[in-house]
Structure 1
Amino acid sequence: MRTLNMRSPTFFILVALLVWSSGNETCGGRIVKHWRGSKAIPPSLSNKKGDNDADSQYPTRLMEESFTAQGKASTTTFNVIDYGAKGDGTTDDTKAFEAAWASACKVEASTMVVPSGSVYLVKPISFSGPNCGSNIIFQVDGKIIAPTSPGAWGSGLLQWLEFTKLTGITVKGKGVIDGQGSVWWSDSSTENPTEESESVSPLKDSTYESSPALVSSEATGKMPSTKPTAIRFYGSSDVTVTGITIQNSPQTHLKFDDCTAVQVFGMTVSSPSDSPNTDGIHLQNSQDVVIHNTNVACGDDCVSIQTGCSGIFIHNMNCGPGHGISIGGLGRGNTRACVSNVTIRDTTMHNTLTGVRIKTWQGGSGLVQGVMFSNIQVSEVEIPIMIDQFYCDGSKCQNKTSAVAVSGISYQNIRGTYTLKPVHFACSDSLPCTGVTLNTINLTPIQEKNHLYEPFCWQTYGELQTTTTPPINCLQIGKPSNNQVQNSNGSC
């Protein structure tokens, strides 16, 4: 074989070809290795030219990283628009909400988004556990409206939007939830369920429960007689409601049944003063509830505290118009009711029926104890301070000897103006109110009113810790005598 001369031009050409080929293969190997180690990206984000160009690789990698980050976000955020919601205020978006919730439910700490700028018509719906992940956020930045056609409600439902058996559920945002309740209020044939129907055993865990005796509203062309609560939480813990506005509910705006560790703050409830039975916030069989920095204007109690509640702390609330903040009515139909450890302070009330009130039915049993009303500013309130153990909703109520006991009630720094009577204490003959303390009470009448009444007390025992304006001389100092009738139903 002929030996290649290392000094010949052919030798140098061969060497050059070998070096060039080796360098190109090495570079190509690095590129292949890089993309094998990376996640695949969509064709729309792939680099279509200059694959071996270092300058062209850099923006491609940035796009890939951005896509990966978006992919991670999409697994925890579920927007109702992505599930078919139209948000035009007329299209039924219920199925889109159900689908978005079904996806969010599967992921812990997920967020279901109702975006701003649109109006979503949603029929009665239940956002349910208990198999959902914990710490889900229901983000409401748009407006959700209830249907106003009778056919959407059948023979009557107990609630419109329900959250049930969830842990760590948060409803928040800058949006509005509108029950469009005027179609219910104006229907003169609609019966108004009394608040006492809510003060007995908890409602069954069903969004679609209705009264079997009722005729379908679709057949009559009228709204059903059972008015729904706008938002109800049932059997849930670590519940937070903040930021949103709830308005014009057919009945109660926000209800908590059988819930623990509840926080409500920075939100608004708004309905006309003449809207019937439209309580702002209703608590029942719930413990460890904090409500603060909230504005409530409605046609009934700003806050209604029913049986089974304890550890309730309400502060920095603006209430009015409405019926004030009430414990009860308790004990209707000879039922047992227990409420304890309630503090309401640093609150203003304007143009309300009552200020701070405890109301119970004759014939009940149980106990209200450990209640403090402190630093309450009232303005044009009919009766700022009230205990009424003869409560009756207007129907015929029989006199009975048994009663829900009321004990350990403290009123401190209650001040402002009234339009009818400053204080009304009407307690049971057989079970008087005990441990009622009054400190720094300063209530003055609106002078232009013609019919004003003095403080009233009946079977009410306690202590005047300071002088009061007006003088509340009717309070009996000390405790009832031993020969007064007592019963054994006062313990809880």
Structure 2
Amino acid sequence: DDCIAINSGTANIRISGIDCGPGHGISIGSLGKDGEIASVEDVCVQNCNFRGTMNGARIKTWPGGSGYARRITFNGITLDNVENPIIIDQHYNNGDSDKSTDDKSSAVEVSKVVYSNFVGTSRSEYGVNFRCSTRAPCTEIFLKDVKIETASSGMGQVAQGQCLNVRGGVSTLAVPGLECLALSTDMLSWGTMPEQACMLPQQSVQPNTRPLQDPLWVYGSRGQRLGVYSVVLTSLISFGFSYVLG
């Protein structure tokens, strides 16, 4: 199955230094099954290796779902004999692409995805495959420095690309078949520097300013040391007061 699966409700996650294979690669999803309202955002997958996997960097969503998968970066990826190195499939149906529901169903919106610094080989003739929905096309999809060759050729033949309802840009036309994406170096600010996109915000943690506490002493609610005798005296007074009232 998937080496790593990132499901709905995920945000601000970083994955780095993974050796994946065999298996189905690193997947966003599947999302949107049974009409699910999905949400995935701010994901970074960086410096990972895929060897003999079915997929590399995959995003998969079911027809009929809704919600979004956005601000996702795949950077510094090495591929060795991978069937689908880069794939977005908005027609996912337990492994099959079902395009018959394309114009009838809603879809999880996929946007702001960057693929950068990919190198290696594809087991199939297609190194990049974008199968997006007519009703919710994939938008702001960017490729930068993607160099994928077919493993079978052994002669440096560049793997092909496929486009269906996708909008975005490429830094170079290194992947034939992706003419649907505009040739542009003017990418989004977060897309031009994948390393910056992978620097996710971290929550600040307030330091504990209380002094270390000696287990032989008793401390008050503010951290002050009460001392053994004061605690005993307080307890005796409380006991006596309760006894008188009783």
1:383 Cα offset (Å): 1.1
Moved runs in structure 1, 4+ residues, more than 3 A? 394-398
Q: Does 1:352 align with 2:53?
A: yes
**Quick one: distance in 2 between partners of 1:352 and 1:423?**
15
Q: Does 1:474 align with 2:175?
A: no
Map of 2:211 onto structure 1: none
Map of 1:427 onto structure 2: 132
Map of 1:180 onto structure 2: none
1:442 Cα offset (Å): 0.2
1:395 Cα offset (Å): 7.8
Larger radius of gyration: 1
Q: Does 1:305 align with 2:6?
A: yes
1:335 Cα offset (Å): 1.1
TM-score, with length taken from structure 2: 0.67
**Quick one: distance in 2 between partners of 1:427 and 1:365?**
14
Letter in 1 for 2:168: G
1:463 Cα offset (Å): 1.0
**Quick one: distance in 1 between partners of 2:71 and 2:153?**
37
Map of 1:384 onto structure 2: 85
Secondary structure of 1:455's counterpart equals strand
Map of 2:170 onto structure 1: 464
TM-score, with length taken from structure 1: 0.34
**Counterpart among 109, 114, 118 of residue 410 in structure 1:** 114
1:476 Cα offset (Å): 5.2
Map of 1:367 onto structure 2: 68
Alignment of 1:25-36 (within 5 A): none
5+ unaligned residues in a row in structure 1: which ranges? 1-299, 479-492
Kindly indicate whether the alpha-carbon contact (under 8 Å) linking 1:440 and 1:467 is maintained by their aligned counterparts in 2: no
1:363 Cα offset (Å): 0.6
More helix by share: 1
Alignment of 1:50-61 (within 5 A): none
**Identity score, percent:** 38
| Matched length | 177
Q: Which gives a bigger RCO, structure 1 or 2 (Cα 8 Å, sep 6+)?
A: 2
Alignment of 1:31-430 (within 5 A): 300-393=1-94, 399=101, 400-420=104-124, 421-430=126-135
1:446 Cα offset (Å): 1.3
Map of 2:160 onto structure 1: 454
1:470 Cα offset (Å): 4.5
**Quick one: distance in 1 between partners of 2:97 and 2:47?**
37
1:351 Cα offset (Å): 0.2
C-alpha change, 1:445 and 1:332, in structure 2 (3 Å) is same
**Quick one: distance in 1 between partners of 2:168 and 2:97?**
31
1:312 Cα offset (Å): 1.0
Secondary structure of 1:422's counterpart equals strand
More strand by share: 2
**Quick one: distance in 2 between partners of 1:307 and 1:315?**
20
Map of 1:150 onto structure 2: none
Letter in 2 for 1:332: K
Letter in 2 for 1:317: I
Q: Deviations over 1:323-356 (max 9, x none)?
A: 1000011001111100000000101000000100
C-alpha change, 1:396 and 1:367, in structure 2 (3 Å) is closer
Kindly indicate whether the alpha-carbon contact (under 8 Å) linking 1:442 and 1:470 is maintained by their aligned counterparts in 2: no
Kindly indicate whether the alpha-carbon contact (under 8 Å) linking 2:122 and 2:159 is maintained by their aligned counterparts in 1: no
